Structure 1
Amino acid sequence: MSMPGNAAPEAASLQAVEWLVRLQASDCAPEVEQAWRAWRDSDPENEQAWQHVEGCMARMRALPAPLAHGTLARKPLHAQANAARRQSLKLLALLAVGGGAWLAGGDGQARFWLADYRTGTGELRHIVLEDGTRIALNTASSIDVRFDAGQRLVTVLKGEIMVSTARDAAGRPFFVRTAQGRLQPVGTRFAVRVQGECTQLGVFEGAVQILPEQAPGAARRLDAGQQASFTVAGVGPVQALPAGADAWTAGMLVAHDMPLADFVGELARYRHGRLACDPAVAHLRVSGIYPLADTAQVLDMLTRTLPVGMRQTTRFWVSVVPHRKNP
């Protein structure tokens, strides 16, 4: 079977994976197959995505059994039935959208697709863990969750989360891990954001202990109203947490006299493609509360309140530039 040279767009690929799982179910009804055929016929991208997923399945069938099914083999028998669909969906989604990156050796994108929980660009998701802990995932974020007899562990692979911890009946400690170290909260609400080689922590309630990965002696405790960034080697200066720092959990961006370049950088996290700020207007200041669900509206508001305009090469390539006066 011939295969397209590039992976199909993300949305169609994920839909194709969902159709594959539904069609393989033992109780698949004829109506499901009819709806699947209608979906394939409705858009050329859908058909391309289906062909790509079928090719991924062919590659999976050629894998040694331990590699293709190892994620389930380690689970108790009573848990395999519940885990099968979820693990299959995660693996197929990775293959369908990532183009087989995991099979080639794995990277950050592979870990993102295989994460227990994740969000796409511009998506906000709220989850509740089995112990009652509540987590909000900001745009383009992913986490893994591992609870065992000795601890409750959340690993932030990418992006930003807000955690509201719950008391555990078994008395297990709660940790959040990033590549830079571990965080141990004490009955608290806090945000964790992974940014390149550092992690930023903001504490809204209670307290959190920072334990840098390579410098345990540099551990630092942050209390409510404080924030700091840390690397594997240590913790940076502790600063006051700005008002509205948790507004993203409600889908809003709060700016207090924020440089336009910083504002555009934050807004870019919630958009597909590239959003840039011309250095000539980077110094302008922005204040207000802005809805993250409609970044195009926010950009339009900027042109009405600041001397700026938008230079748009394509829908996904936009720059904030100085306003040009009509001759």
Structure 2
Amino acid sequence: MHSDDNSTDLAMWVVRLSIDDQKERLKAEKEFFIWRQHHVDEAIKIDEMLEFSKQLQTLSKKHVLNANTVQHCFTAHSDAVKQIKKNWGKLAGIGVFAIGSYLTVQMIPYQYYFAEIKTPIGEKKTLRLEDGSFLTLAPDSAVNFTFDQKKRHIELVQGEIMIEVAKDTKRPLIVSSLHADFRAMGTRFIVQQNQQRSRLTLLHSKVLVQTTENPKFKKIISEGQQVDVSLNGITAVKNINPITIENNLNKNQFVAEDIPLSELLEQLEHFHRVYFIYNKKQLADLRVNAVISMQQSPQTILTLITMQYPELRIDQLGSKFILLRLAKNYS
């Protein structure tokens, strides 16, 4: 079977097994029970995709939307559905909303869309702020600013930034993430965040960390140190080489030191217009140690990882979707 036709068949099963119409869904489940007995490998892929679909339905609705935002959402959703149809062939109209909604959130997150400064996937930007500080945004990153007579405040909406702070004794500079406030103490540092944690990397001088969960708790981090901040607090301090970190950042290289594979996949989505479908729990034991050029294609990088983990299976679904899973009964 041609790969594009196969991808379309898989997508059609996911749509039919996820529709709201109970009668149609029961009919699809009966047909799927018979079909999967003769298509074992394809059925495993569908099981993974259905698990992924369940995760989509639990996405939290955090943002209060005004009329303009709502209109934008409908436009983004329409574009997302068109992209699905282009990549996976002609899908039935029912059931597309769940997958399309995921793409709307992933491709055009609302907070990112309305941020003051943002970078697209695969591109970074350096700018000089009004106080003389230099700010570098990694690909797929966004920030908001509040600079007045009393303070300099940068909100990291998503992604990763490096800042070289201009001296101003009257106005402290604070970078806020989901998990902490980072107060500069005459310094150059990197802040990176995802939903699970924020990471501070000190390249020069010091930063005062104040956690969002417990504002009374504060900790000073010094040059050559790195910490993660989450709802569980601050991790133990890790020593890093500032020169190596900065050189890798300038070369678009990602240093993976015993990190979960899922963290690498998140980074790849900042550099490439690709979407990974996987069960995070299933891949939890797969960890990566490597210096990776993010300019390489995701397929090339994942092929190298399968040399370390031959039980990892990678399937391309259309041009932008990659399914990852572990082979069963692998020995």
TM-score (ref. length: structure 1): 0.57
- 1:191, 1:202 within 8 Å by CA — same for their partners in 2? yes
Distance 2:180 2:197 in 1: 9
Q: Which residue of 2 aligns with 1:287?
A: 290
How far off is 1:227 after superposition?
Answer: 1.6
1:248-263 mapped onto 2 (5 Å cutoff):
248-256=249-257, 260=261, 262-263=263-264
Query: Per-residue CA shift, 1:12-71, capped at 9, x if unaligned?
Result: xxxxxxxxxxxxxxxxxxxxxxxxxxxxxxxxxxxxxxxxxxxxxxxxxxxxxxx99xxx
Q: Is the 8 A contact 1:225 1:241 kept in 2?
A: yes
Deviations 1:239-287 (A, max 9, x none): 2236744423432223356565553443244333422568589637542
Paired with 2:296 and 2:130, the residues of 1 have a C-alpha distance of 29
Matched to 2:133, the amino acid is T
| CA deviation after TM superposition for structure 1 residue 233, in Å | 7.3
Return the letter of the residue paired with 1:238: V
Write the distance in 2 (CA, Å) between the matches of 1:282 and 1:262.
12
| 1:162 has 2:162 as partner | yes
Q: How many Å apart are 1:303 and its aligned residue?
A: 6.1
Identity of aligned residues (%): 21
Alignment partner, residue 323 of structure 2? 319
Structure 1 CA distance for aligned equivalents of residues 178 and 221 of structure 2? 19
Q: Give, as a single letter, the amino acid of the residue that structure 2 aligns with 1:99.
A: F
Q: Paired residue for 1:129?
A: 129
State the partner residue of 2:116: 116
Quick one: structure 1 residues 289 and 230, their matched pair in 2 at CA, closer, same or farther if it must change by over 3 Å? closer
Structure 1: runs of 5+ lacking an equivalent: 1-66, 69-90, 102-106
Give the 3 Å change call, closer, same or farther, for CA 117–276 of structure 1 in structure 2. Answer: same
1:265–1:276 CA contact under 8 A, matched in 2: no
Q: Residue 32 of structure 1 aligns with which residue?
A: none
Contact 1:226 / 1:239 at 8 angstroms: preserved in 2? yes
Letter in 1 for 2:124: L
Partner of 2:143: 143
Describe how 1:132-281 pairs up with structure 2 within 5 A: 132-168=132-168, 171-196=170-195, 198-231=197-230, 234-241=233-240, 244-246=244-246, 247-256=248-257, 260=261, 262-275=263-276, 279=282
* 3-state SS of 1:145 partner: strand
Counterparts in 2 of 1:302 and 1:153: CA distance versus 1, 3 Å: same
CA contact (8 A) 1:209 1:222 kept: yes
Deviates more, 1:173-182 or 1:267-276: 267-276
Given that residues 179 and 232 in structure 1 are in contact (C-alpha distance below 8 angstroms), is that contact kept between their aligned partners in structure 2?
A: no
Segment drifting more, 140-149 vs 228-237? 228-237
Asked whether the equivalents of residues 180 and 212 of structure 1 are also in contact (C-alpha less than 8 Å), the reply is: yes
CA change 1:283–1:113 in 2 (3 A) is: closer
Please name the residue that 1:99 is paired with: 74
TM-score, structure 2 normalization: 0.56
- Cα gap change, 1:259/1:230 in structure 2, threshold over 3 Å: closer, same or farther? closer
Correspondence list, 1:45-124, <5 A? 97-99=72-74, 109-124=109-124
Is contact 1:270-1:295 (8 Å) kept? no
Measure, in 1, the Cα distance between the counterparts of 2:163 and 2:269: 23
Report if the CA contact (8 A) 1:187-1:206 is conserved. Answer: yes
| Residues 268 and 294 in structure 2, CA contact (< 8 A), matched pair in contact too | no
The SS at the match of 1:216 is coil
Partner Cα separation in structure 2 for residue 264 and residue 231 of structure 1: 20
Give the stretch that moved more between structures: 272-281 or 185-194: 272-281
How far did 1:165 drift?
Answer: 0.9
Change in CA separation of 1:119 and 1:240 when aligned onto 2, cut-off 3 Å: same
- CA distance, structure 1, for counterparts of residue 265 and residue 291 of structure 2: 14
CA-CA distance at 1:322 after TM superposition: 7.2
Answer whether contact 2:253 2:291 (CA < 8 A) is retained.
Answer: no
Tell me the secondary structure at the aligned position of residue 216 of structure 2.
Answer: helix
Structure 2 CA distance for partners of 1:230 and 1:95, relative to 1, 3 Å? same
Cα offsets for 1:226-247 (capped at 9, x unmatched): 1222246743322223674442
Deviations 1:64-118 (A, max 9, x none): xxx99xxxxxxxxxxxxxxxxxxxxxx7xx67743389xxxxx994332111111
**Larger mean Cα displacement after TM superposition, 178-187 or 244-253:** 244-253
Aligned residues: CA RMSD: 3.8
Compared with structure 1, are the counterparts of its residues 184 and 274 closer, same or farther at alpha carbon in structure 2 (3 Å cutoff)? same
Query: What letter matches 1:155 in structure 2?
Result: E
